[in-house]
Amino acid sequence: MVGLVIVTHSAALAHGAAETCRMMAKDVRLAVAGGMEDGGFGTSYARIVAAIDAVYTDDGVVILMDAGSSILTVETIVEEMPERRLRMVDCPLIEGGVVAAIASVCGANLDEVVQRAEETRSARKIAD
């Protein structure tokens, strides 16, 4: 099963996003890296690596980020781990996370999980 990692600047946001994903896909392999080790706001390289390690399998890991330094830090980690199947996803954090979680537990491969999550970029919430 493809693992998911949610990276945010806030521990509360990361855990809330994970809780939402698990409501829709309770058996998803999911870890979070939210905030700093001291509980403060920010992005922790060490927490992201630990989250990846927690859910990594040969099926790979999809990483969803909120913004700014979380994206830059994940880019660095992905570049430093070329032997691993890691994919960053450009999508809304909650919508993409839920769709990725569902796709993963349904047996989608890494490319399919990424594709499904990225399809949420164009999802409309309110009709004209």
C-alpha torsion sign, points 45, 33, 8, 24: positive
Q: Does residue 29 belong to any structural domain of this protein?
A: yes
Q: Does residue 62 belong to any structural domain of this protein?
A: yes
Q: Give whole-number Cα distances, 96 to 21, 38, 48, 55, in Å.
A: 9, 28, 18, 18
Q: Does residue 35 belong to any structural domain of this protein?
A: yes
Q: Does residue 127 belong to any structural domain of this protein?
A: no
Q: Give whole-number Cα distances, 44 to 11, 22, 40, 41, 49, in Å.
A: 11, 23, 10, 10, 9
Q: Residue 8 belongs to a domain with what CATH number?
A: 3.40.50.510
Q: How confident is the model at residue 124, as a pLDDT?
A: 86
Q: Does residue 128 belong to any structural domain of this protein?
A: no
Q: What is the pLDDT along the chain (128 residues), one digit of tens a residue?
A: 999 999 999 999 999 999 999 999 999 999 999 999 998 999 999 999 999 999 999 999 999 999 999 999 999 999 999 999 999 999 999 999 999 999 999 999 999 999 999 999 998 888 87
Residue 26 belongs to what domain range?
A: 3-122
Query: What is this structure's pTM?
Result: 0.94
Q: How many domains does the chain have?
A: 1
Q: What span, in angstroms and rounded, lies between the C-alpha atoms of 65 and 92?
A: 9
Strand partners, 89: 64
| Closest of 59, 80, 61, 57 to residue 7, by C-alpha | 61
Strand partners, 4: 30, 62
Q: Does residue 49 belong to any structural domain of this protein?
A: yes
